[in-house]
Amino acid sequence: MVSKMPKKPRRHFLKEKEARKLLLDFSQRLKTDVEQLLGSKPRIEVNETEAAEIFILNGKPLLARSGGELFPTLAFEEVFPFISRIVVDMGAVPYVCKGADVMAPGVVSVKGEFEENDLLLVVDERHSKPLAIGVALFNSQAVKNMKHGKIVKNIHHVGDKLWNYLREF
């Protein structure tokens, strides 16, 4: 009996038109001009893995797409100043790092203004260390007044498959 080989990740460069569309989509998602960070014509490779499509820009794995959601990886530190933050208490850290969504009781503060479905950076209160990239389930004003319930959907976190790929890169 022949065992099935695992699907080998496919890696290839994006055509210029596809690359422009990717950067435009991400600029719109982030509500900022990403060209300022990456230059006008970065070389973009895509690595299709089980965890996500990983976009390697100028040799660095900076963007990913999973479940139709385009987001920065935790390796894309240059983009963090452009993303609103949710600061969580140290008790929430192990849960967020295991993929849990961010719950209102664990939130210490909100930095920046955002709308529902915007990308957010989740950081710890002690060192402001990036823990996760998430999607806002409410706008910033609503989050500041919430006492219970989920407020951020965790889409990429320290310790997930994508994070492990980034560490090996």
The CATH number of whichever domain residue 23 belongs to comes to 3.10.450.120
Same domain? For 69 and 107 the reply is no
Q: Could you tell me if 31 and 57 lie in one domain?
A: yes
Residue 94, domain CATH = 2.30.130.10
Same domain, 62 and 82: no
User: Is 142 inside a domain boundary?
Assistant: yes
Q: Looking at the domain assignment, is residue 2 inside a domain? A: no
Expressed as residue numbers, the domain containing 66 is 10-75
Per-residue pLDDT tens digits for 85-112: 999 999 999 999 999 999 999 999 999 9
Same domain, 85 and 132: yes
SS3 141: helix
The domain tally of the chain equals 2
97, 109: one domain: yes
Assigned domain for 62 exists: yes
* Strand pairing class (150-157; 130-136): antiparallel
**Tokens for 63?**
């963007």
Give the global pTM. Answer: 0.91
Same-domain pairing of 82 and 142 = yes
- In tens, the pLDDT along 9-58 reads 589 999 999 999 999 999 999 988 888 888 878 899 999 988 899 999 99
Query: Which residues lie closer than 8 Å to 112 by C-beta, 6 or more apart?
Result: 83, 84, 85, 140
For β-strands 84-88 and 119-124, DSSP reports them as: parallel
